Amino acid sequence: MLFNTFQFLVFFVVVLTVFFALPARWRHPFLLAASYYFYMCWSTGYILVIWAITLVDFAVGLLIEKSETLLSRRLLLGGSIVCNFGLLFVLKYADFFGATLNSAGSRLGLPVHIPALHLLLPVGISFHTFQAVSYTIEVYRRRVPAERDLMKYALYVAIFPQMVAGPIERPYNLLPQLDPGKRVSFERFRSGLQTALWGLFKKAVIADLFSSAVAKVYASPQRFPGPILAIATFLFSIQIYCDFSGYSDIAIGIARMMGYDLMINFRTPYFARSIAEFWQRWHISLSTWFRDYLYIPLGGNRVAAARWYVNIVIVFLISGLWHGANWTFVLWGAVHGFYLIVGAATSGLRGRLNLALGVVNWPLLHRAAQTGVTFLLATAAWVFFRANSARDAVYILRHIAGAGQFHLTDLYGLGGLFRFEWVLAALLVVVLFSVEWMIVARPPLILRLWSERVFRWSAYYACIFGIVCFGVFSQVQFIYFQF
């Protein structure tokens, strides 16, 4: 069940109504049942995977807390990690690694043949696996007590707004909110509705408008000249941001309407001034997960420079692989790791160069240049993320700057986008960046405008009728659902 469907609207209205009508002690059992129903709309059988993860980690949490020796706690944590990641590996990565080994074997002339399992990937498995693992790690670290209420823990794993594509919650944030008796206020309800509405606008109007043209070009990039490859890549960088941040906003918004605060997942990432800052603003719940549970345990940056770079590479290669069982994702992660290492290694040099050139005397220009370069670097890396193969990605990057034979009218009809849609697309990009720029640079102005009812209502109406008139309602999947 996608957030941008009428089925979800009906589901959510019913859930919300019953949720508020029920006495406090019945709300969470009801919410858990609703969450399971929500998941079963995707894949009925794979609810068993959710139940397995829930039961294993609930039991392991209790056992870790009871254990008195470090060794037994470590063994229990290791068992939990093996169970969770083992399941993830079998369901998501087994065929990928099998095919890779088969291919390597045939090149080396070795008789390797690992049969493919062809398992259907459970939706959102990477998200709820990571969320479950974060619970056992935090219990192991004694940052949170083991949860004794199975129903409450089950809801932590499966609460429907963030079940299939995050934000990847932490136990110390979400579990305390699952105590009965939590009240909601009209203000929170309204704020949640606003966030969800803006998220739906980004998804249904912007991301889904761009998706067909991007898909068309990336399906066979060799057929298109450089300018169209560049336009499609730019559109994809907007599409993926609006798609995923739109999903996150809807999740955060509907959770807030019911009284739960989920983690912020995006903070205007395309206004970051470096790739390091980009990762503090993009998919925050995942990047902080890797920071807390992988990067810091590896030593983080409190090690020799060479080891630090290795840590960065490890984190980003695994982060790439987390996104999908394909070498293109690994390459995407590697490119970001490379950016970060180059950024760290040249930091001093760039500072001295800026001083020598006097760039620091033009702070606005300096910031704009940094933002522009970061956006270009992130966009170039998206090529690996979106391309069907590494070969396609390399082709696109080699030809993206080429002039080729191109007329503006070549865009008409591309992916079903005609003159109107292109004008709309340009307008939407301006609207998106203007709103984000105001959030970054003029927060008091936004607050002042937002306090004016005329402005607020106009924004609501524009958003609603924008979704109605320009939204795509052909059930376009959220990109991150596949992860």
Please give the C-alpha separations between residue 279 and each of 212, 274, 289, 295, 319, in angstroms, as whole numbers: 27, 9, 12, 13, 12
3-class DSSP assignment, residue 266: coil
Considering beta carbons, is residue 47 or 318 the nearer one to another protein? 47
Q: How far is the CB of 397 from another protein (least distance, A)?
A: 20
List Cβ neighbours of 122 (8 Å cut-off, separation of 6 or more). 42, 43, 46, 49, 91
Considering beta carbons, is residue 37 or 93 the nearer one to another protein? 37
Q: How far is the CB of 460 from another protein (least distance, A)?
A: 7
Q: How far is the CB of 452 from another protein (least distance, A)?
A: 13
CA dist 262 and 259 (Å) reads 10
CA dist 268 and 96 (Å) reads 34
CA dist 85 and 78 (Å) reads 10
For the chain, the first-to-last Cα distance in angstroms comes to 16
Considering beta carbons, is residue 166 or 221 the nearer one to another protein? 221
Considering beta carbons, is residue 40 or 390 the nearer one to another protein? 40
Q: How far is the CB of 474 from another protein (least distance, A)?
A: 6
Considering beta carbons, is residue 194 or 374 the nearer one to another protein? 194
Considering beta carbons, is residue 170 or 202 the nearer one to another protein? 202
List Cβ neighbours of 170 (8 Å cut-off, separation of 6 or more). 134, 138, 263
Out of 323, 336, 399, 407, pick the active-site residue. 323
- Return the axis-axis angle of helices 6-21 and 24-40, rounded to nearest 10°: 160
> 28 an active-site residue?
no
Q: How far is the CB of 231 from another protein (least distance, A)?
A: 13
CA dist 139 and 171 (Å) reads 9
Q: How far is the CB of 362 from another protein (least distance, A)?
A: 40
Q: What is the DSSP string of 147-183?
A: P--HHHHHHHHH-GGGTTT-----HHHHGGGGSTT--
Q: How far is the CB of 468 from another protein (least distance, A)?
A: 5
| Residue numbers at the binding site for another protein (CB under 8 A) | 1, 4-7, 10, 37, 40-41, 44, 223-224, 409-410, 412-413, 419-420, 423, 453, 457, 460-461, 464-465, 468-471, 473-475
Q: How far is the CB of 385 from another protein (least distance, A)?
A: 23
CA dist 436 and 449 (Å) reads 15
**Peptide bond preceding 167 in cis form (omega within 30 of 0):** yes
CA dist 396 and 422 (Å) reads 22
Q: What are phi and psi of 26, to 5 degrees?
A: -95, -10
DSSP character at residue 482: G
- Return the axis-axis angle of helices 208-219 and 419-441, rounded to nearest 10°: 120
CA dist 61 and 173 (Å) reads 17
Considering beta carbons, is residue 25 or 453 the nearer one to another protein? 453
CA dist 17 and 327 (Å) reads 45
The structure tokens listed for 368 are 């704009």
The structure tokens listed for 187 are 């203000």
Considering beta carbons, is residue 172 or 418 the nearer one to another protein? 418
Please give the C-alpha separations between residue 175 and each of 338, 404, 412, in angstroms, as whole numbers: 37, 56, 51
Residue numbers annotated as active site: 323
